[in-house]
Amino acid sequence: MSDLSSLTSSAYQQALEVIASVEPRIAEATRQELVDQRASLKLIASENYASPAVLMTMGTWFSDKYAEGTVGHRFYAGCQNVDTVEALAAEHARELFGAPYAYVQPHSGIDANLVAFWSILAHRVEGPWLEKFGAKNVNDLSEADWESLRAELGNQRLLGMALDAGGHLTHGFRPNISGKMFHQQQYGTDPETGLLDYDAVRAKAKEFKPLVIVAGYSAYPRRVNFAKMREIADEVGATLMVDMAHFAGLVAGKVFTGDEDPVPHAHLTTTTTHKSLRGPRGGMVLATEEYAPSVDRGCPMVLGGPLSHVMAAKAVALAEARQPGFRTYAQSIADNAKSLAEGFLKRGAKLVTGGTDNHIVLLDVSSFGLTGRQAESALLDSGVVTNRNSVPADPNGAWYTSGIRLGTPALTTRGFGHDEFDKVAELIVDVLTNTEPGTTSAGAPSRATYVIADGVADKTKSAAAELLDKHPLYPGLDLA
């Protein structure tokens, strides 16, 4: 065991002892979570493994600070160290992504998108409205003018990617607040290929004339030409916002460059800091100088006080992503996704778009006679962690779905390569081939219950354990 591994083990052992002295059940749940993660093939596209340095950074006295405001302009005294933390995180983000401005306070990807949406509204709607009436802020408006402004802010148009095509709830769908803020329409993918049709997006934008066009995805297994998306936005006078939460690591690692790098083309780019970026759970907004003043008002506009300990962890993760080895990691994510896709295809499985060129593989499980919910559950029983996901024009809707989404960032962090991902595809196909739909209590076909052939789940867990044992999670970390 290296000195660093020994030090890490000692630190975590002592930390758990301290926790156990107050609430032993939390200490045990924490210990068990590591056991479970070590024993599972984690293929959740939105999950990863943060480094011990990132994890430890979150467990400090920065947790105790209130720090509403921005660097050098706080509403609380005694925030000089928080200023250092936030400034460093923003500096690393700007340098890593080549962005003019970075805002690192958002607590999540949803928060980052809300900051971006309201920043666009403030810049494009509120600002001109205030100028029209010669007001410095909304407090200077008459009650009638304020009511008119409120109606104007809540009556703007947003064009986002359809949910079943791979878009995200935060891109204007009604279950999310973004769908209540905006009058929203969707662009989809070609019904034959499942690929984005930029001419169709352009036609939709010209017809709808949105204030905001959202690009980016959570379940689209291909790259996007953001230069074309910016051209479309400029043609209709829209602000282009890109949500790169899923593929930020591929941007940071220079797998996506040129027209496929959203940062030079978008007015605002939002992201999470975990997923493929391998940091703590949190969000960020990158922006042009034009939008920076509006974004900087994220707190108190829509955010509560920043989580200083998480901003510190973001700084550490972003510093890690600026190291040369991160580019190798990012390229391996994409290479491994291709290996996983090829493993499925050669075994006769059906993939949305027929493959992948990012980190996502979207498997259509209807060819196995299953719903996504049945497939997800059967795989979980077998030690393979995935999540069900809609496919284009999904007949089973967003709850049961017809697909499962798989991602390669987490297992790539563990060191999996081509051969291991080919084996993972084999295991998944074997489980799904040997799973049948169940029935309801009344004997009718069920979209939720399932039956796995005897011995298949145990056999899969055993094979998965062999793969995982070769690539231990947090090697040298012993919590026994």
Q: Which amino acid is at 197?
A: D
The total of other beta-carbon atoms located within 10 Å of residue 290's CB is: 13
- Residues annotated catalytic, as ranges: 66, 68, 243, 272, 275, 281
Compute the distance between CA of residue 451 and CA of residue 433 in angstroms, rounded to an integer: 11
In contact, 242 and 262? CB cutoff 8 Å: yes
| Token pair belonging to 166 | 């791979």
In terms of C-beta distances under 8 Å and separation of at least 24 residues, what long-range contacts does 259-263 make, across chains too?
259/225, 259/226, 259/227, 259/228, 260/223, 260/224, 260/225, 260/226, 261/226, 262/215, 262/216, 262/224, 262/226, 263/97, 263/98, 263/99
Joined tokens for residue 314: 């973001």
DSSP H stretches of helix in 162-197: 177-181
Beta bridge partners of 350: 364
Q: How far apart are CA 53 and CA 462, in angstroms?
A: 31
User: Which DSSP letter does residue 237 get?
Assistant: T
